[in-house]
Amino acid sequence: MPPERGLGIRVMNGFQRRADIDGLRALAILSVMAFHFNAAWLPGGFAGVDVFFVISAYLITRIITSAINDGTFTFTGFYARRVKRIFPAAFLVFLVSVLAASQLNSMLLPAAKFVLLSLFNHFTSDYFTQDTQQNFFLHYWSLSIEEQFYFIWPALLVAGSWVAGRWLAPAQRKRALMVGCMMIGVLCFALGEYWVRDAGQQAGVYFFSIPRFGEMALGAFIALAPTSKVQARSRLEVLSLLGGLLLACSFLWLAEQPYPGLHALAPCLGTLLLIRYGRTTDGELSTIAQVLAWRPLVGIGLISYSLYLWHWPVLAIARFVEGDNDLSMGMMACLLVLIVALSVLTYLGVERPLIRSRLGFKAAFTGFAGLSMGSFALIVAMTGLEALNLPPIMGERYANLTVNGQNIHMTEGWVAPCWEVNDLNPSKAAVDERCHIGAHSSEQVLMVGDSHGAALGGFIDTLAKAEGFSVTAYEVGGCQVAEWGMAKRVPAIVLTDERRAKCAAMLDFIEQNHARYKAIFVVNAFNLFAGAYDVLKKVDGVPVDLNEERLHRFAAKTPLYFFHDAPVLDRSMQHSPLLSRLGLRLGAAPVEHGAQGNLQVKAMVARIANAHWVDLAAAYQVLQDSSFLHDGLPAYADTNHLSGRGALALAGVFQAQGGCLLCTSGKAGKDGMALSGASR
Q: pLDDT of 462-500, one tens digit each?
A: 999 999 999 998 888 888 898 888 877 666 556 677 788
Asked if 17 and 8 touch (Cβ cutoff 8 Å), the reply is yes
Which of these, 402, 386, 438, lies nearest to 417 by C-alpha position? Answer: 438
CB atoms within 10 A of CB 367: 17
Which of 195-209, 479-493, 551-565 is most confident?
A: 551-565
Give the Cα separation of 405 and 192 in Å (integer).
43
Which of 125-134, 163-172, 206-215, 633-642 is most confident?
A: 206-215
Question: Which of helix, strand or coil describes residue 449?
Answer: strand
Paired sense of beta strands 406-407 and 402-403, if any: antiparallel
Q: Which is more confidently placed, 370 or 601?
A: 601
* Residue 630, strand partner residues: 633
Whether the per-residue pLDDT at 11 is higher than 50: the answer is no
Question: Which of helix, strand or coil describes residue 479?
Answer: strand
Q: Check residue 492 and report its DSSP letter.
A: G
Flag whether the pTM goes above 0.75.
no
H/E element, 654: helix 644-656
CB atoms within 10 A of CB 306: 28
Q: How far is CA 173 from CA 39, 225, 302, in A?
A: 45, 11, 34
Give the Cα separation of 59 and 76 in Å (integer).
18
* Residue 612, strand partner residues: 561
Asked if 438 and 461 touch (Cβ cutoff 8 Å), the reply is yes
The string of pLDDT tens digits covering residues 328-367 is: 899 999 999 999 999 999 999 999 988 887 777 777 677 7
Whether the per-residue pLDDT at 43 is higher than 60: the answer is yes
> How much is the pLDDT for 41?
93
Q: Sketch out the chain's domains with CATH numbers.
A: 10-389 (no CATH), 402-679 (3.40.50.1110)
Give the Cα separation of 645 and 443 in Å (integer).
27
Q: How far is CA 162 from CA 57, 155, 165, 170, in A?
A: 20, 11, 5, 12
Question: Which of helix, strand or coil describes residue 642?
Answer: strand
